[in-house]
Structure 1
Amino acid sequence: MYHTLDLHFQNYEHAIAAFVIETDDGPVLIESGPYSTFPSLEQGLNNLGYKVGDVKHVLLSHIHFDHAGAAWAFAEKGAKIYLHPFGHDHMHDPSKLVASATMIYGDQMDVLWGEMKGIPKKNLKVMDHDDAIEIGGHSFRALHTPGHAKHHIAWHWKDTIFTGDVAGVKIEGGPVVPPCPPPDINLEDWIHSIDLVLSKNPNRLVLTHYGEEINPNIHMKELKEILSDWGQWIKTKWQEGLNNDEITPLFMKYTEQQLRDRGVSDHGLKQYEAANPSWMSVAGLVRYWKKKQG
């Protein structure tokens, strides 16, 4: 049994989640969300009968702000933060993360993500591929799953895998779509990671964006198809000589129609865009094709 905490990112339901597993050593938190949603996270914990200080273990899928931005607030209370080795230095000193994000988001940084503080090294616990930790009678195994990000971990618990972003974004029964942000989106790695996840034969996938998927093979097949579709669509526009600013509105129109064709409502479109901004996938996939060519 696990609990899903809706973090109500930008006042949207089902855009970003965190998850709680109750153990003999207190609650284990998977994902922290951004610090901007910390009040929702704290309320979710309170609803389960816990305080922030009760959380001694936080498992991060990766270090992007929407998944890890509030981890420092738990570390300040003494929690251990488990993460990929590539994320260690950035979480200890997030100045480069903040600087690069500020170049993108400008004066929206605080509204979107909130404060980001460094985490002492003693609180950071790196997990190599296939490492397992035992917490309060529960085992959590780290699966290195690059593709969306090189510092990505999917967490295997019992017959369930908490997928971070490797299983894409799927909101309220809509279609699955792949978040493809810069700087290290890699389609080949992502396909390999999908196959790795499926090789564990999970009964369910749990997506940070958003919720439970009980047909992993069908879900991942659809993700592979849309990942290829988006990748080839962006490649064609880029090869035609269009720049990111020119591609983005065309891509938004293209993907909006895909979602509408699958029955996604106007409100659903806003939820998808909040969880997976179109411009980010354009930037990531154009960068990917440039690197491939170079």
Structure 2
Amino acid sequence: MYHTLDLHFQNLNHAIAAFLIETEGGPVIVESGPYSTFPSMEKGLADHGYKVSDVKHVLLSHIHFDHAGAAWAFAEQGATVYLHPFGADHMHDPTKLVASATMIYGDQMDTLWGKMEGIPKKKLRTVAHEEVLEIGGESFRALHTPGHAKHHIAWHWKDTIFTGDVAGVKIEGGPVVPPCPPPDINLEDWLHSIDLVLSKNPNKLALTHFGEEINPNIHMKELKEILKDWSLWIKDKWEAGMSNEEITPEFMSYTAQQLRDRGVSENGVKQYEAANPSWMSVAGLVRYWKKKQI
């Protein structure tokens, strides 16, 4: 059994999760969340009888701020952070990562994500595809699953796969949607990664955004369909000569209506937008189509 910790990002329920697995060797955390939500992380751990310093192992799906922004704070308290080889340099020295994000988020950086500091190399442990970590009597298999990000890992534990973003965003029983940020969205890789996850025959998917999915095959089929729908919708607008700034409000309206048509409340629409901002998917998918054209 694992515990889902709601990190209450932007004071919203069910936007960003972390996961706590209790082992014979102490607690293992999957996803650190951003540092802005660290008080919620501390409370979640305390609710299960742990302190941050009790956590010696943090497994990251990838290095985007909403998944990895607080990893340094665990490392500072003695944890080893496990991640994809492509992400290690950026976590050791996040200068470029922070600079790139600051160009996008500006003066919202601290409010959204909080600070991000470097992690000593001795506290970073890269893992190969299909490598198995043995921690406290439990086995965690790393599945390299690019598509959303080239440095993405889904973690397979028992009958559950902690999917990061490869299985999309699904909040409170609503439809699944794909987060498509720049710079390295790759639809072909993503579809292959979906098939890889399903090939492991999991009974459950644990989504960072948000919670447990008990019908993996149906979920992933719907994700493939909406990934195609969104990518082609944005391709049409881009090929018509629209800029990202022009596409974004139309895309926001288009996807919000998709959610409403599936019974999502107005508050739910806000939760989806917080977990998966429309401008981000526009930027990522336009970049994908531009690269395809080259």
TM-score by length of 2: 1.00
Partner of residue 52, structure 1: 52
Cα deviation 1:162-192 (Å, max 9, x = unaligned):
0000000000000000000000000000000
- Give unmatched runs, 5+ long, in structure 1: none
Which one-letter code corresponds to 2:129 in the other structure? H
Q: Which residue of 2 aligns with 1:93?
A: 93
Cα distance in 2, alignment partners of residues 129 and 168 from structure 1: 20
Give structure 1 regions of 4+ aligned residues with deviation exceeding 4 angstroms.
none
- Which residue of structure 1 aligns with residue 35 of structure 2? 35
Instruction: Give per-residue Cα distances to partners, 1:249-290, cap 9 Å, x unaligned.
Output: 110011011000000000000000000000000000000000
Structure 2: runs of 5+ lacking an equivalent: none
Work out the CA distance in 2 between the residues paired with 1:238 and 1:270. 25
Give 1:26's aligned residue.
26
- After superposition, the CA RMSD in angstroms is 0.3
One-letter amino acid of the counterpart of residue 128, structure 2: D
Find the residue that maps to 1:289 and give its secondary structure: helix
Q: CA deviation at 1:81?
A: 0.1
How many equivalent residue pairs?
A: 294
Counterparts of 1:1-294 in structure 2, within 5 Å, are 1-294=1-294
Instruction: Give the counterpart letter for 1:92 in structure 2.
Output: H
Secondary structure in 2 aligned to 1:101? helix
Write the letter of the residue equivalent to 1:65.
Answer: F
Partner letter of residue 100 of structure 1? S
**Counterpart secondary structure, 1:166:** coil
Q: Deviations over 1:17-73 (max 9, x none)?
A: 000000011000000000000000000001100000000000000000000000000
Find the aligned partners of 1:197 and 1:147 in 2 and give their Cα distance: 13
SS in 1 for 2:18: strand
Q: Give distance in 2, aligned partners of 1:229 and 1:97.
A: 30
2:219 and 2:78 map into 1 onto residues whose CA distance is: 37
Aligned-partner Cα distance in 1 for 2:132–2:93: 26
SS of 2:27's equivalent in the other structure is strand
Following the alignment from structure 2 to structure 1, what is the Cα–Cα distance between the partners of residues 76 and 197? Answer: 33
Deviation of 1:78 after TM superposition, in Å, equals 1.1
Matched AA of 2:133: I
Task: Give the residue type in structure 2 aligned to 1:79.
Answer: A
Aligned counterparts of 2:289 and 2:128: Cα–Cα separation in 1: 29
Q: Specify the code of the residue in structure 1 equivalent to 2:14.
A: H
Q: In structure 1, how many angstroms separate the alpha carbons of the residues matched to 2:122 and 2:167?
A: 31
Amino-acid identity (%): 83
